[in-house]
Amino acid sequence: MLAIQQAGSGFAAHNQRGTAADLDPAARLLLALGPLLLLLRRRFPRTAVFGTSAVTLGYLAAGYPYGPVLLSVVVAGFGALVAGHRYATWSALGMLLVGRLLAAHAFYRWLPPGEDGPGAWGTDLFMAVWMVALCTAGELARVRVAEQARREREEAEAARRRADEERLRIARELHDVLAHSISVINVQAGVGLALLDSDPEQARTALGTIKSASKEALGEVRQVLATLRTPGDAPRAPAPGLDRLGELAEQAASAGLQVTTGTEGTPVPLAPGKDLAAFRVVQEALTNVVRHSGSRTARVRVRYGSGVLELRVDDDGPATGSGPTGGGNGLVGMRERIAAFGGTVEAGPRADGGFRVRATLPLRSGEQQAPLQ
């Protein structure tokens, strides 16, 4: 930029000889100051645009020839506009234009090169036009940069939300897997300790149940972790669904809870995510019965109704500790899972005693199912 202004202004001085002042050392200094001020345009864009405008005004007011001296103002003004300093840029350019008009048409008698005539309006019109063009181009670039920054912020926010949702999903999966299995292990460990001396065979059975439950829990945890490590890959094993309610009943039986299951209506295929959510709700409800209820029996009913899947888990016993109505992670996880598919979860004591968990999930339209009796 420095070389262009120096060489270009020298060429302009040669062509404008007699109508403009010669390029003396002061002119060369002013021509050098503009490009040097551009070094500040990134850190101090307002200083750069005001500085280059002032230097250019001094150059023109001194009667030196027109030429590439305006390039410094163009670069500084464009950079300041893109950086968002609109009013500073407009003010600096306005100062330059007004100063040029005053110097060319009001104070020309007292300014070099000493001629009596005012400046040419065509030159001033040209300056006004390129200032308008500069402001227009700068505003368009500023809007584009702002729009790009907005899109990047939205993409970053969306990525953050996806990461949060994935962490929440993994936390729910781990809670559901571990809470159920550890409850079974805890009960069987107590049975084994109690019967270790009096009934070694029964204690051995309890240890076998602990081994089976821990192995299954470890397998499901590994599946969750594999999904976490390679989120783009499909899981190697199918996610559990309502077709595995029998396994839940067997696991609950090993913890001393007798579970009866029943299905009403014609079962329909569910989306994997919805099927998994339904399975986890039943699993968590049975886990809560084992942990918090004095009842040793529970009933699971699945109804495929008209446009809705209803799940009900009932037990008849009194609470034995901090019940699930205390707002623990289990109920919160149930509600979050079901709400993701537009469903609801209700949990609370029944009027005739015991506790009930009821969840509803919407089904695809057009499915006609049997009513609940």
What CATH number corresponds to the domain at position 260?
3.30.565.10
What pLDDT score does 325 carry? 46
**Which residues share a beta bridge with 314?**
299, 356
Half-sphere exposure of 70 toward its Cβ, with a 13 Å CA cutoff?
18
Residue 166 lies in a domain: no
Residue 330 lies in a domain: yes
User: pLDDT digit of tens for each residue in the chain (373 aa)?
Assistant: 777 776 666 666 556 655 555 677 887 888 888 888 888 888 898 988 899 889 888 888 777 777 777 888 888 888 888 888 888 888 888 888 888 888 777 666 666 665 555 666 777 777 788 888 888 888 888 888 888 888 999 988 988 888 887 777 777 777 776 776 777 787 778 878 888 788 888 788 878 878 877 877 777 777 766 666 655 555 555 678 899 899 888 888 877 889 999 999 888 888 888 898 899 899 889 888 888 888 889 999 999 988 899 999 999 877 665 444 444 567 887 888 898 889 999 998 888 888 999 999 998 754 444 444 4
Residue 155 lies in a domain: no
Catalogue the E-assigned strands of the chain: 258-264, 297-304, 308-315, 344-349, 355-362
What pLDDT score does 34 carry? 80
What is this structure's pTM?
A: 0.49
Domain that holds residue 296: 241-373
Question: What is the distance, to the nearest Å, from the Cα of residue 132 to the centroid of all Cα atoms in its chain?
Answer: 39
CA distances from residue 221 to 98, 153, 334 in whole angstroms, order as listed: 74, 34, 19
What pLDDT score does 138 carry? 82
As a whole number of angstroms, the distance between CA 279 and CA 182 comes to 17
Domain boundary among 119, 143, 158: 119
What pLDDT score does 299 carry? 94
Residue 209 lies in a domain: no
Determine the number of helices (DSSP H) and then strands (DSSP E) in the chain: 10, 5
Crossing angle (nearest 10°) for helices 245-254 and 121-195:
50
Q: Which residue has the tokens 């060489």?
A: 7
3-state class (DSSP) for residue 362 = strand
Count of all residues that appear for the chain in the document: 373
Total domain count, the chain: 2
Tokens of 200: 């070694």
Domain boundary among 66, 89, 119: 119
**Which residues share a beta bridge with 148?**
none
Tokens of 240: 């559990």
As a whole number of angstroms, the distance between CA 98 and CA 286 comes to 83
As a whole number of angstroms, the distance between CA 369 and CA 268 comes to 9
How would you classify residue 358: left for phi > 0, otherwise alpha for psi between -120 and 50, otherwise beta?
beta
Contact predicate 228/174, CB 8 Å: no
Q: Give the number of other Cβ atoms within 10 Å of residue 152's Cβ.
A: 10
Domain boundary among 67, 95, 119: 119
